[in-house]
Amino acid sequence: MEREKKKIRNPLCNKMISIALFSLAVFFIFSMIYIIFATTIQVNLDTLSKEEVVNSEMLLIDVEKDILTNRIERLTTDLLYVADTYELYNEDPSTKYMQLEKQWILFSNRKGIYDQIRFIDVDGNEKIRINYNDAGAYAVKENNLQNKKDRYYFLESMALNKEEIYISELDLNVENCEIENPIKPTIRLSTPIYNSKGELEGIVVLNYLAEDMLNQMRKIASTSQGFIFLLNEDGYWLYNGENSAKEWGFMYENRMDENFQYIFDTEWEEIKENKDGFISSVFGVFCYTTMLTSDDLYIEELDQSIASSEGIWRIVSYIPSGSETGQLFSMNIGMIISHIVRENKLILIMLAIFAMAIAFLVTLNIFEKNKIKYYSEFDAMTGAYNRRAGFERLDRIYKEATKKSIKTSLCFIDINGLKEVNDGLGHDTGDELILSIVEVIKKNMRETDFIARFGGDEFLIIFYGMDEEESEKVWTRIHNEFDRINETEQRKYLISVSHGIEEFQFSASEYIDSIINEADEKMYTEKRRIKEELKVLR
């Protein structure tokens, strides 16, 4: 009964394994098709999204650039206006400074963006200084005026020709060698003043309160998908939309390392080399443009060039790689596929169920076909070839062996005493006897050999590539195994088999039937001998 259970279990196990493997294969194929399709779509969508992000950020920093450029152009026109007012009062030197103070106070109050308006003579002495605060503009008393001959903007401005304009760097205002607190981001614009004789009298200076301009930047920067930076020529932050504490590092000795180029050195080198563009790196995405170049420093309406400036500015949009938008640029194919798998678990589960259903139906169909084929070719009980399939394979082997002259032998066997076992111990025991014999034979066969059930208790064994002597040696091992079972397992019956081996001769008169008959004769000779021996023993 245990053997019958194994016979039932093995096909079921094989069937379940087949269904599982086929399910995996179908699931893998459908999943790969879906993932490839979804990945292709996602890559295309990501490409479009990245282009939209870059275009949006480039447009934003261009807007920032236009706003700053326009603001600087307006500052230069204000400077030229102030310079023109100075020349208006040259005709009456006695009242010139008094009249200018009144004029410039009105102008300062109207504008509200100039911390100071000054006239500095050729020796660096402030002759007029209009300060502006929350209470309004006022003229500084003469005894509080200072000498600025050592300041960089004075030295630069004094070297200019008539009507040339100097724009200083954007920095923090310094009074009495100390940075004002609260800080005042300041740009100084100046132009030289010449009298009617062409003699240099000094310079007019506007101290622009750049917080006005930076506030404009902040408003536009709030619409960015990242952070907007305004950098000076050395890479220091003039405006940092991510962390304002990093601004103005160059103004403090203990903060000289708070610099864009120290953090993003590779990106900074590329930004310096190009006027505008974008960079995608491990840190994120950088869209950038440059302003205050020679092309920018021209006032078309006035046909006026700005002759000198303390370096160019760079506006940068920075989208960190860790941000949601930044991850769009840092994702590779593997990450995209991982994302698709995570986001489409339900679809993949449905594909798995679908794959299992298909696999079950297909495997069942194949299994049934194989089952039909199996039972049409093999003996249901022993698993050996049945008579018809055995003859077909024997015919193929005979033709192949004849064509290639491969020595081959046929063994005809007959189970001794099977009828007595069936009659005395029952057919289950008889089946056990047959199965025991076939199992021993199969264990001692090679893959090139095969066994076929010729009749109820008769079998054929084909030893491919062996002559009669070699085949007899194999049979001896099989016979010895029968003897071992008889001696050790104490069964109610003895395993006894008669055999006859005939080698293929490949002669013209030889046929398969004749080979079988010769082997059959040898088998019966051995069977008669065994019977005689049994009679003597009795």
Structural domains in the chain (count) = 3
Distance CA 536, CA 381 (A): 35
Distance CA 243, CA 246 (A): 6
Do 293 and 145 fall into the same domain? yes
Do 32 and 79 fall into the same domain? no
Sign of the C-alpha dihedral computed for residues 436, 441, 447 and 448 taken in this order: negative
pLDDT digits (tens, 9 = 90+) for 109-134: 999 999 999 999 999 999 999 999 98
Residue 368 placed within a domain? no
Residue 294 placed within a domain? yes
Residue 8 placed within a domain? yes
pLDDT digits (tens, 9 = 90+) for 307-324: 556 578 999 999 999 888
Do 319 and 384 fall into the same domain? no
Residue 370 placed within a domain? no
Residue 373 placed within a domain? no
Do 62 and 169 fall into the same domain? yes
Do 110 and 248 fall into the same domain? yes
pLDDT digits (tens, 9 = 90+) for 37-90: 777 777 777 778 889 999 999 999 999 999 988 898 899 899 999 998 887 776
pLDDT digits (tens, 9 = 90+) for 484-525: 999 999 899 999 999 999 998 877 667 788 888 888 999 999
Among 332, 330, 304, residue whose Cα is nearest residue 319: 330
Do 388 and 302 fall into the same domain? no
Given the DSSP bridges, would you call strands 136-139 and 126-133 parallel, antiparallel or unpaired? antiparallel
Do 533 and 477 fall into the same domain? yes
Model pLDDT, residue 18: 63
Among 156, 181, 183, 184, residue whose Cα is nearest residue 168: 156
C-beta neighbour count of 212 within 10 angstroms: 15
Model pLDDT, residue 349: 72
What is the DSSP track for 274-294?
A: -SEEEEEETTEEEEEEEESST
Q: Which residues contact 396 (CB under 8 A, 6 or more apart)?
A: none
Residue 372 placed within a domain? no
Do 83 and 137 fall into the same domain? yes
Reply yes or no on whether the pLDDT at 469 is more than 70. yes
Check which CATH number belongs to the domain holding 306 and give it.
Answer: 3.30.450.20
Model pLDDT, residue 371: 64
Do 219 and 78 fall into the same domain? yes
Domain ranges, residue 382: 378-537
Element (H, E) at 11: helix 2-88
Distance CA 327, CA 338 (A): 13
Do 282 and 398 fall into the same domain? no
Residue 279 placed within a domain? yes
Do 337 and 255 fall into the same domain? no
Check which CATH number belongs to the domain holding 457 and give it.
Answer: 3.30.70.270
384 φ, ψ (degrees, to nearest 5): -80, 160
Reply yes or no on whether the pLDDT at 274 is more than 80. yes
